[in-house]
A and B are shown apart, each in its own frame.
Chain A
Amino acid sequence: MSGSLTIVGLGPARPEHLTREATQMLQAAAADPHGWRVYGLAHARTVARAVAPELQIRSLDYLYSLPGVDRPNAYSDLAEMLTRRAFSDGHHVLYLVAGSPLFYNDAVLAIRRRAAVQQQPIRLVHGMAFLDLVLDRVYWTGHGGLQLWSAWNVAHDAVDLDPRAPTLLVQLGEFGASGDALDTHRSPQMLGLLRDRLLERFPPDHPVLVLYSSGPPDYRSEGRRVLLAHLAAEPVPVYSNLWVPSLDGPALERELAPPSDRWSAEVTA
C-alpha cells in the first residue's frame, strides 16, 4: 500500500492564521477529492472551508459524544483509525487540527507514536500555536524563563510551580483528567482549586491575568487582571488561560498589555 498521513495545523482561530503551506495543502486536497481523505473536528472544518470551500471533510465530532468512551480512549482510537486508513488501506489521509499539531494535542501525539512504532513516515504541516494569541495580552520578557502547564496538572496533580519564573496555565476550562471541557458556569470550581494551590506559593494580593478569546468570528485576545485571592470570584470562558507572574520578576510581566488586534478595525472604520 502506498498511502500517506499528513497532519495539518490550521492555526488557533481565524483563517488568516493559516500558513501558506497549510493553505496550499487544503486547496490541493479540494481539487483532488478522490485522491485525499480529509478528517477534522468542527473548528478545523470551519477554518479549512474558509480557504477551500469545496473540501470534503469527514467529521470526527462523533468521537466526543460516544457513550462510555472517554477522551484518552477516543484519541487512541482516532490514531489507530487514521494510521490504519493510511498505512493499511493505502489512502492519502489529511488530518486537520486546530492550532499547532504539537501543542497539547493528545491525538497527534498518539498518531506520531503509532506511526513511529510501525516505522511509517508522517508529515507535519506546522501551524501557529494558540500561545501567540494568549501572549498578546502580556509582556513576557523571557528573562526568567516560562513555565507552561495545564491548569488541571496544577489543580489536581500536585505540580509544584517555581515562583521565580512566570507561569502560563492553559486550558482553564479543562474539567476532567480525560479532557472533557468545563462549561463556563462550572469554571469557578476549577478556579477555586487553582487559587488554593497557587496561594501555597504566592500571596493573596499577587496579580494574575485571565487570558481568553472573544470567540468567533473575530477571536480577539481578551484579558482581565485580578488579585489571586479573587481568582474564583467570576466564571471564565471555557478556553481561558491564566498568566501568573513570578514573585520577584520584572514588574512589566504583571501588567495586562493592551490588545494588539484592534488596529485594523479602527483604521478601516
Chain B
Amino acid sequence: MNRRLILPPGPFPPVDPPEPDTEDELLDDSFDSPEPETEVVSVGHTTHLGATFRDRLYTGHHMDGRARTALQSHLRQALESGDLNRAADLLIAWTDTWSLSAMVDDANEQWSTEPDGPSLAVLARAAQVVGMALGWAPAPNGPWPWPDVAALKAAVGPVDPSTDVVVRHHPLDGADQLAAALGLDVEDGVPLELPPHTIVPPAELVSRRAKLAASLADGSKAAIVLTSEPWDTPATALARGELRMEGAAQVAVDRYGLAGLLAPDAPQWSEVRTAAPTSSAHDLDLTAVLDATCDGAMVPGPPGRLRRGDVDTVGVLLWVGPHPPVWVAPVAVHVLRGLNGQRTLGQLVEAMGAPPDALLDVARDLLSVGAAVRV
C-alpha cells in the first residue's frame, strides 16, 4: 500500500525536508491567489504543507506581486465601505510588502536551515500580510494564516482516505483541523522537538496561575501555551503579565505561537527594521544631482489619521529593504519621482515649476531620511 503522510501548514517543521528527486506540479487551478512556484515539498510519501505554503507565499515575488495587489484592492474596498480601522491595517500591511519583498526570502531560508528570532519575526509579519491579502484567518496557534479549504485541497492534490493520513506532531500544530478539512484520519508522529512547555485551556489560566508561574520561575518550563485567547479580564491580564515576566519563551510564544519556543528572543517586526542610512545635506545647492533610493507613493492616510476617521492624501516613502516606511507631505513624493541621478536640482526646479528654496528644502529632507543620495 502506498501511504502518504500529510503535515499541516504553519511554521513547522522549521527545517525544510530534503529536495525531491523529481518535481511534481501542484494542482494550481483552484489555488488562484498566489502564483505557483516550482517546488513542491513532497518527499517520498510525505507532503509538508508548512514548507509548501512558506515556499509559495512567503516570498519576495509574492509580496511585491499578488499580495500587494490584493491588499491594494482590499484597501480600496475598505475605504469605500467606510471601514477606516480596517483600511489602516491594510495600508500598513501594503506598505510592509516593500520591506518584506526584500527580507522574507532570506528569513524563510534562515528558518528552514537554522531558525532564529529575526527570521521568525519577519516570517510572522509575512504571515499576517499573507492572511490579510488572501483573506485567510489565523491558524489555531500564532499568526500563521490557515489556508481555505480550496487552497488546502489544491496543495495536497487528490486524497485517498485509504492511503493518505494527516500526521500530528503536536496537539496544536493544526493536524486535526487539516484532517477535518481533507476528510482524512489523523495519526500521531514523532513529537516536535520543542523546549518544555505546558498546554493550558484559557479557562484554567487564572486558577492554575500560581503553579504555572512556579514552573516558569524554576525553569522547568519555557512557556505556557494557551489553546486559544482568554477572555480579557483584569485577573487574566495579571496572570499573563506574570507568566511573561517569568517564562524564558513566554513573550515569544504569546506573540508567535509554538514557533516562539524555538526563538525565545524573537524581536517584534517593528524591531527588525531600522531607519535607512542618511546622506548629508550640507552645502546642497541647485547644481547637485540626486538619485532616489526608495519608492514613493500617494495614499490615503497615514494610518493614525485613518483610525481617527480622517481621510487625506499623504505621501509615503517605501524601501525595498529593511527600513520602515516614512510618511511625508505629497510634495516630497513629487520631488522624489523627479530624481533620476542625471539632472540637477536646478533642472528639476524648472521642470516642476517649483520655487527653488522650497525644492531645496524638500531635497534636504529626502537626504536626511535616506530617501535620496547625491550622485
Contact = CB atoms under 8 A, between A and B. Distances in A.
Bound pair (A, B): yes
Interface of A: 37, 58-60, 62-63, 66-69, 73-74, 77, 81, 84-85, 88-89, 91
B181 interface: no
Given A58-B246, A62-B245, A81-B242, A69 B210 contact: no
A37 B245 CA distance: 11
Q: Identify the interface centre among B210, B218, B233, B237: most chain A CB within 10 Å of its CB.
A: B237
Contacts of B213: 81, 84-85
Contacts of B237: 66-69
B214 interface: yes
A62 B210 contact: no
Given A58-B246, A59-B245, A81-B242, A66 B217 contact: no
A87 to B, nearest CB: 12
Nearest to B210: A84
B44 interface: no
A73 B234 contact: yes
B241 interface: yes
A81 B237 CA distance: 14
Contacts of B80: none
Interface string B244-274: 1110000000000000000000000000000
A68 B218 CA distance: 29
Contacts of B246: 58
B234 A69 contact: yes
Contacts, number: 42
A84 B237 CA distance: 18
Interface of B: 210, 213-214, 217-218, 232-234, 237-238, 241-242, 244-246
Nearest to A93: B217
B214 A62 contact: no
Contact of A66 (B210, B218, B234): B234
A89 B238 contact: no
A68 B217 contact: no
B214 to A, nearest CB: 5
B238 A69 contact: yes
Contacts of A74: 238
A89 B245 contact: no
A60 B245 contact: yes
Nearest to A77: B238
Nearest to B215: A89
Contacts of B244: 62
Contacts of A69: 234, 237-238
Given A60-B245, A62-B244, A88 B234 contact: no
B217 A85 contact: yes
Contacts of B245: 58-60, 62
13 contacts: A58-B245, A59-B245, A63-B238, A63-B241, A67-B232, A67-B237, A68-B237, A69-B234, A73-B234, A81-B242, A84-B214, A89-B218, A91-B217
Across the A-B interface, give the 10 residue pairs with the lowest CB-CB distance, nearest first: A66-B237, A68-B234, A62-B241, A69-B234, A89-B214, A77-B238, A58-B245, A69-B237, A81-B242, A89-B217
A202 B340 CA distance: 73
Nearest to A62: B241
Contacts of B217: 37, 85, 89, 91
B252 to A, nearest CB: 16
Given A66-B237, A85-B213, 14 more contacts: A37-B217, A58-B246, A59-B245, A62-B244, A62-B245, A67-B232, A67-B237, A68-B234, A69-B234, A69-B237, A73-B238, A84-B210, A85-B214, A89-B218
Contacts of B242: 81
Given A58-B245, A60-B245, A68-B233, A88 B238 contact: no
A91 B233 CA distance: 28
Nearest to A70: B234
A34 to B, nearest CB: 9
Nearest to A89: B214
Contacts of A81: 213, 242
Nearest to A59: B245
